[in-house]
Structure 1
Amino acid sequence: MDRFKAWVVEKTETGQALTFRDFDAADLMDGDVTVRVTHSTVNYKDGLAMTGRSPVVRRFPMIPGIDFSGVVEASDHPNYAPGDAVILTGWGVGETHLGAYAERARVKGDWLVPLPEGLDAADAMAIGTAGYTAMLCLMALEHHGARPGDGPALVTGASGGVGSVAVALLARAGWQVIASTGRAGEEDYLRGLGATEILDRAELSSPGKPLAKERWAVAVDAVGSVTLANVLAGTKADGAVAACGLAQGMDLPTSVAPFILRGVSLLGINSVTTPLPKRRAAWARLASDLDRTALAAMTTTVPLAEVDRLAERILSGGVRGRTVVTVP
């Protein structure tokens, strides 16, 4: 196919515009693997890219969409051949390299991961960047030495994409999970994923003390800013917090108190340029450890032509769990 359907972000005099139109394959960027995209997903960063609310897009025109699953159509890479099922997350796709909201993508083979045994393409994008990030958080906490017997695990932004998968993964691994959310109506949903306690996000979203009562042994934080500061303040001695998001903000108004008085560790999670061995290990863990019933409970589906209507909703916290985008 020389032309295919794609969402395209183009620069305008007043900012940017998003259109669903035909795109010429000759205008795809350099790469040694061409993939027929079958599924993508909707992440917070995709919402920013589609709306222009933050300068996520750094090249115009840009096809947004930071992750996809699909089938290799052509390859000059030694590890991939036509017909191979693959996954891509990160590497600037949808930001500096033409992305996933299209019927075709051309990328570097070194960015790809083979679809693990036990997952199909739809499952892979039900997990997507958000679920993959949640697994990296769990792996970082385990590498730190944290174990379920140490105490509860807190998850902030629990009804969002990263949070939903983190709740399910931690519960499956044996942790008592405290799920923090601002959506009062999501208690049944979160308990269904494995949460044993629901915490109103209002308890964490306003400035607090440098040190608070020790309440959780570990945490997965996708919110940042004041929330992350309060999470650190409430973490038990020698506990750890995996930080992977900035829904509330990029700032961190905290003090050294949790670090030098309780020995709390702050573990940064980079899901964009993760080295391939860790990337493949995370996907293998997701294929084996993530409960499929929980995954199905947190997943909805939209066709590619309608993905734009979710951009503002995900930024305002109106999207629950995971959304799979089906590509014709």
Structure 2
Amino acid sequence: MDLIRWGIVATGNISGSFTRDLAELPDAEVTAVASRSMASADRFAEVHGIAQRFDDYRALIDSKVVDVLYIGTPHPQHYAVARAALEAGVAVLCEKPVTLNARQARDLADLSRANGTLFAEAMWMRTDPVIQAYFEDLRSGVIGAPKQVLADFGFFKPELPERLLRPDLGGGALLDLGIYPATFTYMALGKPEAMTAMAEVNEDGVDLVTSMIWRYPGAMASLTCGMTAQLPWIAAVSGPEGSLMLPHRWHHPDHYIRRTAKGDERITVPKSGLGYHYEAAEVMRSLRAGLTECPAFPHDETIDILDLLDEARRQTGVTYPGDDEFLGG
């Protein structure tokens, strides 16, 4: 697998960013794209120089012209596309959240192992060089044992994108934004022993704001996501010896601040591209090694985090039409 062939499903902004970043990897080639309409697939293909175009994701999968599929559709479509690819033996990198709920994600992980086909959630933050350096610093004990985590992710726009306000598209703050504080907190402290969630839910059943408290033995985390206010958009882990803080737009930072008795130190790490090629490179390394899951995107952690988001929705009464979709029996 000297050259790994990528197929792109969906032609929205995130698919465009991911495809542009694949140009950073000389051993990656985008050979096909699929969209709901051929016109959209053609436009995307012309911009990115892609030879094969399809107006149906199953036709792309059946074409046998790709080794791995990147799925950038709206959340409710992730499960069906990923399952079809895994059944056909095509590796999958699927945008976060990888499915609407933990039960669907668990099914995909089981199918991945049964078929010997790689499956990963595209949580690009996990492979960001600054984030990786941050957690290496945390594990070194520079601030002592982590005792508190704060993480928020939120913004305000007078007119929100339609997909964020539609239950049938998995809209709301929790799945689209809250996945970041949830993943960050899990990376810092693991799975909590208890959690409490509260939300502001509109008349359509979409959460505009969700806040969670995760409790651990000797530690606590506060997580907030929302679409009604310009939040600080920062994340920090604190211990008895200091804190490590990620700045505004912390999910793809250019530095972090180490605050200890020595004072404040700004830690920068060289980066390139938009940041998506790091997750693609992780998938390609794992494919070449014959793995069914990437070390940076463990199936169990993906499922644990979705279990926690499921519990947050249970406590706040947020449901989606696609919650009941479960093709695995």
TM-score using structure 2 length: 0.38
TM-score using structure 1 length: 0.38
Name the one with the larger helix percent: 2
